[in-house]
C-alpha cells in the first residue's frame, strides 16, 4: 500500500513514518511541499501523487494562539482538509483525517460518542469542526478519527513538560477538574494505517473516536509520570479557574471508542503502557 502522508515532523506523522508495516510505503509531505495555509497546493499534491490512501496528520494545534488568529487557523484546520478530501474523492482513494474532542462542549461526565452533539467552545474547536464538515461533504471514502491529549517522545507535549518541571521543582500545581484519555501518538499512527488499509479494501468509513484509557485528570496523569521515573516532585491539584488560558478548555474530554472497535477491531489503548514506552525512548 502506498500512503501519502500530510505532515512529516508532528507527533502522529513521525510515528506513522516509523511504524509503517512491511509492504507499506509512506510519502510524507512537510510544510515545504504541502503547506496547509495553501489548500490548493495540498489538493494538487494529492492529485499528482501515486497513492492508495491519504492520511492527514497535519493541523494547526496551537490552541491558545488560534484565539487571536482564528482566520489563519480556519484555513489550516477547515479549508485545507476540505480541499484535500475533495482531491482524494476525485482520485477515488480513501482519506483519513485526525480531529479532536474539542468539537464538543466539554460538559458533563459521560463519554462523548461520534453521534454526540457538537458545540465547540473555542476557536481551535470551531476550525476543527469546519474541517470535519468539509471532509464529510467532499463525498469520498473517509474516516474522521477524533482523539485527545496526544503524547510521544517527539515535539512538545504534556509528558515532556512534566518531566522538565518535575526535575526543576519540588512541587507543581496541575489541573484536576479536566478529565480525559491521554493517547499515545504511536497508537494513533497504528490506527490511521490500519484504517487506511481497511478503507482501501472496501471498509465503510465514518467518524470514530480513539483515546487512551483509563480516563484520568491532568493531575493524575502528571502523578503517573512522576511515579514512573521516580521523581519526588509533588503534584498539587488545582481547579481550571486557577490556571486561566486564552482558549477555554473542556472539563470533560472523555470519548467512547466503541464504534472504532466495532468497525475496525481497534481497541482503546492503555496509556500507561504507552507512557512507559515513551519514557523508555526518552531515557527518562
Which tens digits make up the pLDDT trace of 210-247? 999 999 999 999 999 999 999 999 999 999 999 999 99
Instruction: Work out the average pLDDT over 16-20.
Output: 97
- Residues 158-171: tens digit of each pLDDT: 999 999 999 999 99
d(CA 157, CA 163): 10
Average of pLDDT values for 39-68?
96
Q: Compute, in degrees rounded to 10, the torsion defined by CA atoms 130, 251, 163, 98.
A: -20
Residue with cell 468509513: 205
pLDDT in tens, 184-211: 999 999 999 999 999 999 999 999 999 9
Percent residues over pLDDT 70 in the chain:
100
Alpha carbons 46 and 87: distance in angstroms, whole number: 6
Average confidence score pLDDT of the chain: 97
What's the number of CA atoms in the CB half-sphere (13 Å) around residue 242?
A: 11
Average of per-residue pLDDT across 87-108: 98
Q: Which residues are catalytic?
A: 124
Domain containing 63 equals 2-157+182-212+255-269
Q: Compute the average pLDDT of residues 267-274.
A: 98
Which phi and psi (to 5°) does residue 25 adopt? Answer: -105, 130
Residue 221 lies in a domain: no
Question: What are 44's three cell numbers?
Answer: 494538487
pLDDT at position 284: 83
Number of domain units in the chain = 1
Has residue 274 been placed in a domain? no
Instruction: Tell me if 175 is assigned to some domain.
Output: no
> 162 in a domain, yes or no?
no
pTM of the model: 0.97
Distance CA 163, CA 115 (A): 37
Residue 242: what pLDDT?
Answer: 94
**247 falls within a domain:** no
Cβ pair 45, 52 in contact under 8 A: no
Question: Is 141 part of a structural domain of the chain?
Answer: yes
CATH number of residue 207's parent domain? 3.40.50.720
Instruction: Label residue 281 by pLDDT band (50, 70, 90).
Output: very high
DSSP code at position 114? T
Residues in the chain: 284
**Is residue 32 in a domain?**
yes
Q: Are 168 and 261 in contact (CB under 8 A)?
A: no
- pLDDT at 108 exceeding the cut of 90: yes
Query: In this structure, is residue 168 part of a structural domain?
Result: no
Dist CA 160 CA 126 (whole Å): 27
Amino acid at each position: 500500500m502506498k500512503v501519502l502522508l500530510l505532515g512529516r515532523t508532528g507527533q502522529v506523522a513521525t510515528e506513522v513514518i516509523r511504524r509503517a508495516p512491511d509492504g507499506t510505503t509512506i510519502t510524507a509531505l512537510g510544510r515545504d511541499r504541502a503547506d496547509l495555509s495553501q489548500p490548493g497546493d495540498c489538493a494538487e499534491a494529492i492529485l499528482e501523487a501515486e497513492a492508495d490512501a491519504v492520511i492527514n496528520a497535519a493541523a494547526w494545534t496551537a490552541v491558545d494562539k488560534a484565539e487571536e488568529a482564528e482566520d489563519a487557523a480556519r484555513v489550516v484546520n477547515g479549508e485545507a482538509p476540505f480541499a484535500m478530501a475533495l482531491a482524494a474523492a476525485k482520485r477515488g482513494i480513501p482519506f483519513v483525517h485526525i480531529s479532536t474532542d474539542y468539537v464538543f462542549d466539554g460538559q458533563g461526565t459521560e463519554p462523548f460518542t461520534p453521534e454526540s452533539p457538537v458545540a465547540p467552545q473555542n476557536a481551535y474547536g470551531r476550525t476543527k469542526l469546519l474541517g470535519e464538515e468539509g471532509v464529510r461533504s467532499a463525498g469520498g471514502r473517509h474516516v474522521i478519527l477524533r482523539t485527545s491529549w496526544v503524547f510521544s517522545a517527539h515535539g512538545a507535549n504534556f509528558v515532556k513538560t512534566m518531566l522538565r518541571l518535575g526535575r526543576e521543582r519540588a512541587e507543581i500545581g496541575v489541573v484536576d477538574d479536566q478529565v480525559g484519555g491521554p493517547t499515545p501518538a504511536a497508537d494513533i499512527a497504528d490506527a490511521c494505517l490500519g484504517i487506511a488499509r481497511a478503507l482501501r479494501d472496501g471498509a465503510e468509513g465514518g467518524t470514530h473516536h480513539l483515546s487512551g484509557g483509563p480516563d484520568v485528570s491532568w493531575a493524575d496523569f502528571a502523578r503517573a509520570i512522576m511515579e514512573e521515573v521516580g521523581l519526588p516532585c509533588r503534584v498539587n491539584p488545582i481547579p481550571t479557574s486557577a490556571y486561566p488560558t486564552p482558549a477555554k478548555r473542556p472539563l470533560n474530554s472523555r470519548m467512547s471508542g466503541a464504534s472504532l472497535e466495532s468497525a475496525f477491531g481497534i481497541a482503546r489503548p492503555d496509556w500507561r503502557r504507552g507512557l512507559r514506552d515513551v519514557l523508555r525512548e526518552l531515557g527518562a
